[in-house]
Amino acid sequence: MSNRARLVAILTALATVLSAGYGAIIGGPEGLLGGAARGVIAGLPISLAIGLFEAYVVDGAAGRRLRAAPFAISLFARFVVWSAAIIAGLVLMRWSMPYPNANRAPSFLADIAFSFALLGAASSYLSIDRLLGKGNLWRLMIGRYHRPREESRIFLFLDMEGSTAAAEKLGAPRFLELLASAVLDATPPILESRGDIHRYIGDEIVVTWPIARADDAVKGAMATIAALDTLAPDYTARFGVAPRFRGGLHGGTVAVGEIGDVRREIVYLGDAVNVAKRLETEAGARRARLLVSGDVVAGLRDAGLRARLADLGEIPIAGRAAPLRTYVAEI
C-alpha cells in the first residue's frame, strides 16, 4: 500500500469511528445504534472525500500550484473543498436516513460544528506533520526516538548538478525559486514510492526508506530523477536553466534519535548515511545519474528492476577502507 493510500485509509477509518461515536452520544430518536449508524453514513463519505482530495490532489501533481501558493491561500482553497464535503455528507445522511420525528432530531448546526472541529484537529495535525516531515510528528509525540535506537534504513541523496553555475546565472532569489519548484516536482514520485523526505540541505534532498523496501527505494529514486528530466523543457522556458539531479543510494544500520531544544528534529547517524552521500558525489565524478550500492541491490526482489542496473564492480569510496560494489542505474 502506498503512503497516499495508507493516509486515506487511516483518516477515513479514524474519522468514521469518531463520527459513529458522536452519533451514538447525541442519540436521536433511534437511540445509540441509530445514532452510530447516522455517524457512519455521514462520516465515511466526508472523510473519504477529504482524504482522497488531500492524498491524490493536494499531494499529487494536480495540487502542485496549491502547494506552491502562500499558506493562507492554500488553506482557504482546502477549506472550501472540506466545507463542501462536510455539507454534502451531512445532507446525504439526513436524506438517506431521515429522522422520524423532526422535533427530536439533533441540530444540523451541531453536526456541522462537530465536523469542523474534527476537521480542524486533523488539519492542524497534518499541517504540523508536513512542516516536521511526514510521520515525524507522531514519532515525536509517542517518543519513539526519545532514546537513540538502531534501525536498518536506505538513504538517497539527490543533488542538483551545476547548481553553482545556475545560481550565478540566475541570481540567488531566482535560483531559490527554481530550486523550490524542483522540490515540489520531486515530491510526488518520492511519496508514491513510500519514501520519507528526511531533510533539505541546500540543493540536496535526503530521502529514506526502511531497508526492506529496496524495490521502492530504487524505483522512487529513478522515478524522481526521470520526472524532473521530463519537465526540463518547461524549466528551460521559465528559467533558462533546467534542474538536473543525480543521486546515491545506500543502506545499512544507523542510529536514530531526537536532537535539539528550540527546534527539535529526528536525526540519523551512521556509515549508511555517509556512504549514500559519497555515492552521490561519485555519481557526479563518473557522470552517472544514480549509483546504487550492492547492499541495496542485494535486497531487490524485482528482476526487471535488477536488469536496469549495470554492475560497475567494486569502487573505492572516500573515507571507507574497503571498496564498495556499486551499480549504475538506467534512467
Mind listing the pLDDT tens digit for each residue in 87-129?
999 888 888 887 766 666 667 788 888 888 887 787 777 777 7
Per the CB < 8 A criterion, the answer to whether 161 and 280 are in contact is no
First to last CA, the chain: 24
Which H/E stretch holds residue 75? helix 71-96
320 or 197: which leads in pLDDT: 197
Which H/E stretch holds residue 201? strand 196-201
Report pTM.
0.78
Enter the DSSP assignment of 17: H
Tell me the pLDDT tens digit for each residue of 207-252: 999 999 999 999 999 999 999 999 999 999 999 999 999 999 999 9
Q: What are phi and psi of 276, to 5 degrees?
A: -60, -40
CB atoms within 10 A of CB 277: 19
What is the C-alpha to C-alpha distance for residues 306 and 291, in angstroms, rounded to an integer?
A: 13
pLDDT reading at 2 higher than 70: no
Enter the DSSP assignment of 195: -
Mean pLDDT, the chain, whole residue set: 87
Per the CB < 8 A criterion, the answer to whether 19 and 116 are in contact is no
What is the C-alpha to C-alpha distance for residues 148 and 255, in angstroms, rounded to an integer?
A: 6
Tell me the pLDDT tens digit for each residue of 71-92: 788 888 888 898 899 999 988 8
Per the CB < 8 A criterion, the answer to whether 275 and 320 are in contact is yes
Amino acid 29: pLDDT: 58
Share of the chain above pLDDT 70, in %: 93
Tell me the pLDDT tens digit for each residue of 287-319: 999 999 999 999 999 988 999 999 999 988 887
